[in-house]
Amino acid sequence: MPRVPVKPRRKPKTSVGKSIADALVTAAEQILSTNGVETFSTNKIAQRAGVSVGSLYNKESLLAEVARRLEQRTAQTLIDTLKRCRDQPLRAVAGEVVDVLLGNDIGELRMRQALRREVPAGWTSETSAEVDQRVRQELMTELARRTDVRQGPTPMMTWMVAHTVEMIVEHAVNTQPELMTVPVFRDELVELVVRYLQA
């Protein structure tokens, strides 16, 4: 049976409502990071967040919100990394970006894996499109100004390199999560980016 798309809940209007919503999402992230979806229930989330179960999103809405926040956090971290590394050589920048995608700073691996498996793309499509556009715009600006990047169709080069690395990392998260900590996997991702882009 196909899953029905989940729309984001209205944003809380009060500081108390925002605190409760943040506590619920944080509790959901912690449960997903520790146990995946095996013990993911509204009762456990409410208990971990210290709120009444009546204040809780339904399970699907909460999963979708965790996924949306992960995408937004990832995008902001990537954009900040690109800005911070502007003066570094291409290989160093590629390494920093790959490290963001392979690391746990954006979200624990088990949580990322659970979200990839449990949240249909349609539940987060609006956020995904907005996040993708922001990251690609920042990356395209960076590639266009660099002298160590080959001449070419910068928008297409940006699209190719961004989505290639993203798909490889997502595939590793889903099927071979142990690769996320293997140095040669990281090195080959960096090499892929550098060889494709280097002048």
Q: pLDDT tens digit string along 19-31?
A: 778 888 888 888 8
Give percent above pLDDT 70 in the chain. Answer: 89
| Residue 153 near residue 140, CB atoms below 8 Å | no
How does pLDDT run across 52-67, given as a tens digit for each residue?
776 666 778 888 888 9
The residue count for the chain: 199
Count of C-beta atoms within a 10 Å radius of residue 19:
13
Closest by CA position to 105, among listed 125, 68, 78, 67: 78
Structure tokens at 23: 């506590």
How does pLDDT run across 137-168, given as a tens digit for each residue?
999 999 999 999 999 999 999 999 999 999 99
- Rounded distance, CA 35 to CA 199, Å? 45
Delineate the domains of the chain, giving CATH numbers in brackets.
11-57 (1.10.10), 67-197 (1.10.357)
117-154: b or e for each residue (b if 16 or more CB lie within 10 Å)? ebbbeebbeebbeebbeebbebbbebbeebeebeeeeb
**63: Cβ–Cβ under 8 A, 6 or more apart, which residues?**
6, 28, 40, 115, 118, 119, 123
**198 has which bridge partners?**
149
Count of C-beta atoms within a 10 Å radius of residue 103:
14
Compute the average pLDDT of residues 11-37: 77
| Residue 62 near residue 28, CB atoms below 8 Å | yes
Please report which confidence band the pLDDT of residue 100 belongs to, taking 50, 70 and 90 as the band edges: very high
